[in-house]
Amino acid sequence: MSDRSMVPYTTPRKRTSALAAIDNINEIIPPLDYSFCRFASIADMQDEEPRINSPRKHQVEQVHVEGAKSHSRSLRLNNNTLTNLDSISTMAKDKFEKPSEIAWIDLSFNELKTIDPAILEFENLQILYLHGNQIAEIQEIEKLTSLHSLKKLTLHGNPMEDVKGYRQHILSILPHLNVLDFSCVTKADRRTAETWQKMCMGGKKKKVKKEGE
């Protein structure tokens, strides 16, 4: 028998990304869930309790207590009939222990036609789902440029998806995104977006010069 000691091999840990960290938090503290409730406005939710999630056995202590503020960092408002986000800031302050730390908001499958400026109040937002709405103007995306922590965005299923160069346009406006429409942003995507932006800027300069002649 060898005199050498046998040390079990340990696989190096991968660095945990911000998005993975949010997923881990959601496993421990489920999102505050107001999905599939047919709410037409945020105000309708003020006096309502969130849907009851089913935490794992070792997470029983995390079950939402009626009337208590949530320690979650995620808010699900999907599959309702919202047309605007009026009062979302007030609702967040009433429902969350730390509303400024909300990192994920799901607004998919509503009836939003614009990106409501109210969403910009969540400065630490990292994940925003807006797919399945009625947002037609791709210029609406420019409103999100102040959300510097935003890494994951969904917009598919909106009329803007039919705009030529849809993906390149969005990535040229929000180059810090890591995931768009559930598809990882590749180096090729970024190069194409950069080229797209240069082409658009060149077109604008030519137009301005022609108008000034």
Q: pLDDT (tens digit, 9 = 90+) per residue, 72-105?
A: 999 999 999 999 999 999 999 999 999 999 999 9
Q: Is the pLDDT of residue 57 over 60?
A: no
pLDDT number for residue 10: 41
pLDDT number for residue 52: 77
pLDDT number for residue 117: 94
Residue 104, beta-bridge partner list:
74, 127
Q: Is the pLDDT of residue 31 over 90?
A: yes
On whether the CB atoms of residues 92 and 102 are closer than 8 A, the answer is yes
**By 3-state DSSP, what share of the chain in percent is helix, strand and coil, each rounded to 5?**
40, 10, 50
The more confidently predicted of residues 53 and 6 is: 53
Task: For residues 181-187, give the mean pLDDT.
Answer: 97
On whether the CB atoms of residues 74 and 50 are closer than 8 A, the answer is no
Question: What is the pLDDT confidence band of residue 118, given thresholds at 50, 70 and 90?
Answer: very high
The more confidently predicted of residues 112 and 211 is: 112
Q: pLDDT (tens digit, 9 = 90+) per residue, 154-169?
A: 999 999 999 999 999 9
d(CA 213, CA 210): 5
pLDDT number for residue 170: 96
How far apart, in Å, are the Cα atoms of 133 and each of 41, 120, 155, 203? 15, 18, 8, 30
d(CA 192, CA 186): 10
Residue 32, beta-bridge partner list:
75
Q: Is the pLDDT of residue 108 over 90?
A: yes
On whether the CB atoms of residues 104 and 75 are closer than 8 A, the answer is yes
Q: pLDDT (tens digit, 9 = 90+) per residue, 60-72?
A: 344 455 668 999 9
Q: At what angle do helices 166-173 and 187-212 cross, to 10 degrees?
A: 90
- Residue 73: phi, psi to the nearest 5? -115, 15
The more confidently predicted of residues 188 and 23 is: 188
Q: Is the pLDDT of residue 15 over 80?
A: no
d(CA 73, CA 18): 13
CATH number 3.40.50.880 is the correct assignment for the domain at 18-212: no
DSSP 8-state assignment for residue 79: S
pLDDT number for residue 61: 40
d(CA 162, CA 156): 9
Task: For residues 178-184, give the mean pLDDT.
Answer: 97
Q: pLDDT (tens digit, 9 = 90+) per residue, 128-151?
A: 999 999 999 999 999 999 999 999
d(CA 141, CA 143): 5
pLDDT number for residue 47: 86
Residue 179, beta-bridge partner list:
152, 184
On whether the CB atoms of residues 194 and 172 are closer than 8 A, the answer is yes
pTM of the shown model: 0.80
